[in-house]
Structure 1
Amino acid sequence: MLTVNPITQLLLTVSLGMMAFSVQGSDLASSDDPIAKELSLADFDGKAEEPASLSGWSVLAERQPGAVVLRLDPSRTNVRPGGSLHVRYALPPSGDSVDLPETSGEFSASLDLKGLNAADFDHLSFWVKGDPAEGFNPEFEVQFRRPEATGSGMPEVGSFMVSGITDQWRQVVVPLNYMIGIKDWQELSAFVISFPPHEMRVRKGAYWVDDIALIKTGKPGPSTGDLVIAEKKKTWEDALGGEAAARPKLRERLAGWPVTLLVDGKTLPSDEREFLYRIARDTWRGLDALTDRLHGLPLDRVQFGNGSVNLSDSKIGDYASVTDIGFYFIAVTAAHELGFITRHEALERLAATLTSLEALESYRGFYFNYYNTTTLERTSNFVSFVNSSWLTAGLMVVRQTFPEFATRCTRLIENGNYRFFYDADHKLMSHGYYVNMALRSTFHYGVLYAESRIGSLIAIGKGDVPEEHWFRMARTLPAEFEWQSLPPLDRTEKSANGFRWIGGFYQWQGYRYVPSWGGSMFEALMPTLVLDEAQYAPDSLGYNGKIHTDIHRIYVLESLGYPVWGMSPSSTPGADRYSEYGVKVLGATGYPEGVVTPHAAALALLTEPSEAVANLRKLVELYPIYGDFGFYDAVSPATGEVAYNYLCLNQAMILVALANHLADHAVQKRFAADPIIQRVLPLIGFEKFVDREP
């Protein structure tokens, strides 16, 4: 079996777009920090009884054997007598490949760590010097790798670009927190010095490396997991006597509360259109009710327990994500289009939300992932590309529907330039940016058929990133990535309208399609809530949405034997957590199966309306899943257990899908009318995902 190139964690959303830090050390740690503990990984000095050797070291130079060469150099050392490692690399000429950067091969030197436990260390330290006779790039990459815990075949990879290398010995001190691809620092399999072809401007050169060690300083520095405490909220809560005592006050801030936990599904209208209107109206009442009255911000979630809606048994999540706010804007528009609220009522709600949004702390024109709805304090250090794009989408819908807010919405849209998230080396969008670490995420949205595609279109339509970005996202992944759920077929270069890209498809039981990452309905159909892909991209995105829905339904009903279908990220019945669910063959890697969520069934109204309506009807007939504010978040068909939660995003997706279905694509038409999307519609209309049927 081919060893997976860990750099290909792309995925894929993965990869290496991280910040490069000077070898002199970052502000978080330096060679002057006291060292409480040190573990040498390699020093190349040797001892009389054990001469220095390259035991445990290996090279990997895919497609160009001999491109990385290692040797011991007894004449070179950083500060004391002894040897060092000389690493020479020779990369192929940089080409104009439109495939994933990772397909150009891996060029690296690797030290086998044999399952090393590094959990008690906080920094990597080593010395480096460029070879002036051979030449060298001023930066290269270091990595730690460990096996992926779930057995998918992809290792975890923590990467760091080291910059500022010169022809003088310098010490590198890298906080392990900045190698964010590693989730668990036990059982490390390898330390790697890597020369990624797309990052190396100098294609041939050499370095000396010495004294590679793990150290513990006791000063790990900031991390991606650092909490941001809403201090004003905590003070307010403490003054009332704690969380339980504050809960009634939180309830008072809401516009409403459900009267009953359950509604008998048999009492819902038998007429199809009335049935759907009832769901839409109940869902809107919930979204409207579970909103902070003073600030106009929707609560991310409310959870009920012990078979009732009693306040004492409930949890009120008084926080909102950027996506929640964006979808609240769209939900208000949907409610107006369906006639549930007057124009005046819509304007009142939107004005309150916009006023709060304008008061929130932001970074370079973008908002943080979460805010407390009671005090408006941010509770996240992360600025997310995809969440930011859904907020922009909401603002676009509002300015096209309610011209009274056009100026305010436009100002907020133009405040942020999406080039902030763009990795020009990969030509992909990064997942986001950690403000507390001054670090761009190492992961990318590298797969085209994901919910993030709407953000890519917005970024291109604004003129913030080049059109080429759309065609650098992967339709399929190379066949050599053997961990994929299915092998890609017909993966060849295509060209049209002056663009080049790599195509290909998966095939399952006669269906041909471009895969998503996890195989969920969310990835496949969430963008269709605002963009009518069937109309504007019938042979690519539109085609794919229909096929994904077909396969999803058939797989769940026939292969799993469930009576209902629709798997997507949602609450987990019986557990207080949110998890990812999907159909494995629809994704490159595939999420686990087991939970059905009504929002996934509602999304299918945009691709298979008759089947979707029948599925929604069956959900309310078979399970106690319908409440005063519409569908609860998820059910396990195997056990019948229901997650009695209302999640703002998932409820809003249900409402918007229903509005498009019942009100003649109302939201989709508003979005498509925006100048940002008008500019990119020609970009998505000419591609054909599958050239021929089996």
Structure 2
Amino acid sequence: MTAIRRRTLLAAGCASGVGVLGAGSAYGGSPGGGAAGSPGAALRGGWRPGRADKALVGRWARDTWRSLVAMTDERTGLPADNIGASVSNPVRSQYTSPTNIGGYLWSTVVARELGIISPQESLRRITQTLTTMRRVDHHEPSGMYFNWYDEATGEVRYTDPDGTKPITPFVSSVDNGWFACALMVVRNAEPRARKLADELLNKMNFAYYYNAAARPGGLMRGGFFETSPPDEETEKGNHTGSGPDVYYRKFHYDTLNTEARIAGYIGLILGQVPPSWYFATYRTFPDSCDWSWVEQKPKGVHRTYLGLDVFEGTYSYRGMRLVPSWGGDMFESLMPDLFVPEAAWAPRSWGVNHPLTVRAQLEHGLDEAKYGYWGFSPASNPKGGYSVYGVEAIGMDPGGYPSDLEATNHDAGFEGCREGTNPTPAYGDGVVTPHAAFLAMAYAPRQAIDNLRRIETDLHAYGAGGFYDSVAVKSGLIAQRYLSLDQAMVMGAIGNVFGNDLIRRSFADRRAERGIRPVIGIERFEAGLE
């Protein structure tokens, strides 16, 4: 951040209780240093929040931050994965992940920017967390962190999060990608913690995940084990060509529109993954009958980028054509966009696709399924446990990420190859997830705020720590708990829309722009209105 840092006054303690939006960043220089009229604001159609919006969202931000504080261990500075409804007497999950820890870090930056906490408290919290991460056990050759830690001790978990069976610690590419994202935000937004953040970031080598032989152009792996797991077949090796071997899981991320693209983005920034990775992934699977098991037959054209043939396939939904995610959920499509200004840097691809994804979610909830509410993404199940939710028609998964408790399956068939089994389903008790609406706020701010207001006032899915994780709109069942990742997405979205694109401009420094923008900016999706 620059010394002349514009602050929004959304927090308690401000005389008016409302804020002001500062000038934007063009993402072409140092964070906070751009000219007025940011890409984020432009994508929102010039929308500016009124006093009532600022006061309302300011209260949501303060309460959301309260839940994150309640999740966080006072000694280690590590957030638990989740807590129940109480923020005054929280029962923590006893496990956390690199993603959760990263989410707490960027949420701390947002809380400071909005005036919820002081700069001194922000620095104390960030320093505490990063100091803990310096000392925890991790895979030292790669600088990567294991998937599960005890938030109270920082010790690696050797039993699964349910505590029911032993596990071999796993080193996930996407989880480490989110943690690296947070380090990049911290190093720019809080220069006093830059040395600590850089110490951790500079050790991370995403080349461990890049498999050049997986496909022409190469793909990113899901992750690896440091020691061979007894219950899983793995591939021994080391893609960096130096250091000890690891034990790779046998799956790669082979589709583009998922949250896992963040690991490839970090690899591009750090110069550890070649640009070809981006174009080696599928936009959709091919349009031949060999792939007729997926949700629908795509339409598109073939184009060549960096010498690689790319099928620019799209799915059809309610007069739109868009590149689908795997499950049709908001998290896969829009969480990377919290950090990477994808729509601004790739206006002919993500700049078209992201608004259409939001529109599809909105139309599904209000017009197709007629729930009266919208916003669908993996979250806690109101009946207990955790489930995936989405708009199935804009996801490739044939089993579907449903949008209701009944897990209603949409299947329109694969044209010319397979007849559909349920092309016009009748939907049941829809499950809306507030963090999904917050992710959409950058593209449909008025609709998102109004939707969230009604989720609070009409569905009562709100507590002392902000929005509960999900709610079933017909039965009124509420998942009365808070997940640190979902709350961190809420904070990140508020930081962008009400904090002058805070998270994006803190992440998108010159190095990030040089690594990512020339790659994603050359592509043109076949997305648009039919």
Q: TM-score, normalised by structure 2?
A: 0.76
SS state at 1:506 partner: strand
User: Within the alignment, does 1:374 sit opposite 2:149 as a pair?
Assistant: no
User: Quick one: structure 1 residues 693 and 550, their matched pair in 2 at CA, closer, same or farther if it must change by over 3 Å?
Assistant: closer
Aligned equivalent of 1:483, options 269, 293, 296? 293
Cα offsets for 1:404-437 (capped at 9, x unmatched): 2222212211212111111211211111112332
Aligned equivalent of 1:282, options 63, 74, 78? 63
Q: Is contact 2:314-2:527 (8 Å) kept?
A: no
User: Quick one: structure 1 residues 693 and 642, their matched pair in 2 at CA, closer, same or farther if it must change by over 3 Å?
Assistant: closer
User: Within the alignment, does 1:439 sit opposite 2:247 as a pair?
Assistant: yes
Cα offsets for 1:520-558 (capped at 9, x unmatched): 010011111112222111221121111011011111222
User: Quick one: structure 1 residues 309 and 651, their matched pair in 2 at CA, closer, same or farther if it must change by over 3 Å?
Assistant: closer
Aligned equivalent of 1:361, options 117, 137, 140? 137
Partners of 1:353 and 1:563 lie apart in 2 by 41
Aligned equivalent of 1:606, options 442, 449, 470? 442
Pairs aligned (count): 419
For 1:532, the equivalent position in structure 2 comes to 341
For 2:108, the equivalent position in structure 1 comes to 332
Unaligned runs of 5+ in 2: 1-49, 159-168, 229-245, 405-430
Q: How does 1:295-444 map to 2 (within 5 A)?
A: 295-304=76-85, 315-363=91-139, 364=141, 365-379=143-157, 381-426=169-214, 427-437=218-228, 438-444=246-252
Q: Is contact 1:280-1:658 (8 Å) kept?
A: yes
For 1:593, the equivalent position in structure 2 comes to 403
For 2:19, the equivalent position in structure 1 comes to none
For 1:582, the equivalent position in structure 2 comes to 390
Letter in 1 for 2:156: R
Letter in 1 for 2:324: P
Partners of 1:289 and 1:693 lie apart in 2 by 45
Q: CA deviation at 1:650?
A: 0.4
Partners of 2:376 and 2:469 lie apart in 1 by 11
Q: CA deviation at 1:497?
A: 6.3
Letter in 2 for 1:472: A
Cα offsets for 1:337-366 (capped at 9, x unmatched): 112122221111111001100011111310
Q: CA deviation at 1:473?
A: 0.6
Q: How does 1:452-491 map to 2 (within 5 A)?
A: 452-479=260-287, 480=289, 481-490=291-300
User: Within the alignment, does 1:515 sit opposite 2:324 as a pair?
Assistant: yes
Q: CA deviation at 1:504?
A: 1.6
Partners of 1:483 and 1:691 lie apart in 2 by 22
SS state at 1:454 partner: helix
Q: CA deviation at 1:331?
A: 0.5
SS state at 1:319 partner: coil
Q: How does 1:91-102 map to 2 (within 5 A)?
A: none
For 2:11, the equivalent position in structure 1 comes to none
Bigger strand fraction = 1
Cα offsets for 1:308-351 (capped at 9, x unmatched): 7785xx74212211100111111111111112122221111111
Q: Is contact 2:322-2:526 (8 Å) kept?
A: yes
Q: Is contact 2:320-2:527 (8 Å) kept?
A: no
Partners of 2:87 and 2:136 lie apart in 1 by 31
User: Quick one: structure 1 residues 560 and 473, their matched pair in 2 at CA, closer, same or farther if it must change by over 3 Å?
Assistant: same
Partners of 2:460 and 2:71 lie apart in 1 by 21
Letter in 2 for 1:619: I
Moved over 4 A (4+): 308-311, 496-500
Cα offsets for 1:274-305 (capped at 9, x unmatched): 1111101111122123211111111111124x
User: Quick one: structure 1 residues 500 and 453, their matched pair in 2 at CA, closer, same or farther if it must change by over 3 Å?
Assistant: same
Q: CA deviation at 1:376?
A: 1.3
User: Within the alignment, does 1:271 sit opposite 2:52 as a pair?
Assistant: yes
Q: Is contact 1:445-1:452 (8 Å) kept?
A: yes
Q: Is contact 1:458-1:677 (8 Å) kept?
A: no
Q: CA deviation at 1:493?
A: 2.3
Q: CA deviation at 1:674?
A: 5.3
Q: Is contact 1:396-1:674 (8 Å) kept?
A: no
User: Within the alignment, does 1:293 sit opposite 2:103 as a pair?
Assistant: no
Aligned equivalent of 2:458, options 622, 627, 638? 622
Cα offsets for 1:349-406 (capped at 9, x unmatched): 1110011000111113100011001121111511100000000000000001122222
Bigger Cα Rg: 1
For 1:220, the equivalent position in structure 2 comes to none
SS state at 1:324 partner: helix
Q: CA deviation at 1:443?
A: 1.4
Aligned identity (percent) is 37
For 1:636, the equivalent position in structure 2 comes to 472
User: Quick one: structure 1 residues 664 and 499, their matched pair in 2 at CA, closer, same or farther if it must change by over 3 Å?
Assistant: farther
Q: Is contact 1:528-1:606 (8 Å) kept?
A: no
Partners of 2:147 and 2:112 lie apart in 1 by 27
Q: How does 1:223-262 map to 2 (within 5 A)?
A: none
User: Quick one: structure 1 residues 692 and 618, their matched pair in 2 at CA, closer, same or farther if it must change by over 3 Å?
Assistant: closer
Partners of 1:497 and 1:361 lie apart in 2 by 39
SS state at 1:494 partner: strand
Letter in 2 for 1:414: N
Q: CA deviation at 1:686?
A: 2.1
Partners of 1:584 and 1:435 lie apart in 2 by 36
Q: Is contact 2:338-2:496 (8 Å) kept?
A: yes
User: Quick one: structure 1 residues 447 and 310, their matched pair in 2 at CA, closer, same or farther if it must change by over 3 Å?
Assistant: same
Q: TM-score, normalised by structure 1?
A: 0.58
